Amino acid sequence: MTLRVRAVLFDLDGTLIDSAPDLAGAGNDMRVARGLPVLPLSHFRPMVGSGARGMVGRALQVQPGDAEFEALRDEFLRRYESRMTRETRLFDAMQPVLDTLRRQALPWGIVTNKATRFSEPLVRALGLIDEAATLVCGDTTPHAKPHPAPLLEAARRIGVDAGDCVYVGDDLRDVQAGRAAGMLTIAAAWGYLGEGDHIGEWGAHHVVESPGELLNLLALA
């Protein structure tokens, strides 16, 4: 089965880019500052989609509601901001996808829950800011994913109907937001996926194991 769409939207972390090394690095920097041993990337990776909350929880076993959580979250964000382009890269297999979309003149954009403070400089540093048709961040609209507002805003900016878009993401909230916006949803199995329900239970229209499979699904390979 192939799909025909007028625009492709991607989640950022875990779908388009591999940011786990820098996010985990910020968490480990906090541990080192407290005399604690460094933890492996695999310890942090599943929680990347949970942002600072998940990273602080994994680094120091502190949760929202704990007395020290707000201060530690702010520290994490400062540390992450200082190193967020050190090791983060576009997933290798995503470059051929973006190259194909460009050759086909099919617009693509980014819809992320990451705040503009981090997303815009990161996307710029990776050389994607001018290529993406739009960048909608977690603070662009009044609601973040799983609310459909960010996806609807992305479609509006590109100038296409939401129903003519496909949204690709590696988190349950991506699928929930995409379906609520009336978009075709594709779950990216190469991403971080979290520790909740299995990807096959998210309700995505399609699950793809690799970016190459995504191109086949979009009839662009």
Structure confidence by residue, pLDDT tens digits, 92-105: 899 999 999 999 99
Give the model's pLDDT for residue 204: 97
Q: Residue 4: is its pLDDT beyond 90?
A: no
Q: Show the tokens assigned to 149.
A: 């507002």
Rounded Cα distance, 187 and 144, in Å:
18
Q: Given the structure tokens 């590696």, which residue do they identify?
A: 170
Structure confidence by residue, pLDDT tens digits, 45-67: 988 888 899 999 999 999 999 99
Q: Is domain 7-18+88-217 in CATH 3.60.150.10, yes or no?
A: no
Q: Residue 79: is its pLDDT beyond 80?
A: yes
Catalytic residue among 13, 18, 22, 170: 13
Rounded Cα distance, 48 and 202, in Å:
18
Q: Residue 1: is its pLDDT beyond 80?
A: no
Give how far Cα 178 sits from Cα of 4, 21, 45, 196, Å: 16, 27, 23, 18
Structure confidence by residue, pLDDT tens digits, 131-144: 999 999 999 999 99
Rounded Cα distance, 143 and 140, in Å:
8
> Is 164 annotated in the active site?
no
> Is 130 annotated in the active site?
no
Q: Residue 194: is its pLDDT beyond 60?
A: yes
pLDDT grade for 220, boundaries at 50, 70 and 90: confident
Give the model's pLDDT for residue 196: 78
Which of helix, strand or coil describes residue 48? Answer: helix
Query: What crossing angle do the helices spanning 51-60 and 69-83 adopt, rounded to 10°?
Result: 110
Burial 119-138 (b: 16+ CB within 10 A, else e): beebbeebebeeebbbbbbb
Give the model's pLDDT for residue 195: 78
Residue boundaries of the structural domains of the chain = 7-18+88-217, 20-83
Q: What are phi and psi of 175, to 5 degrees?
A: -65, -45
Structure pTM? 0.94
Give the model's pLDDT for residue 160: 97
DSSP β-bridge partners for residue 9: 109, 167
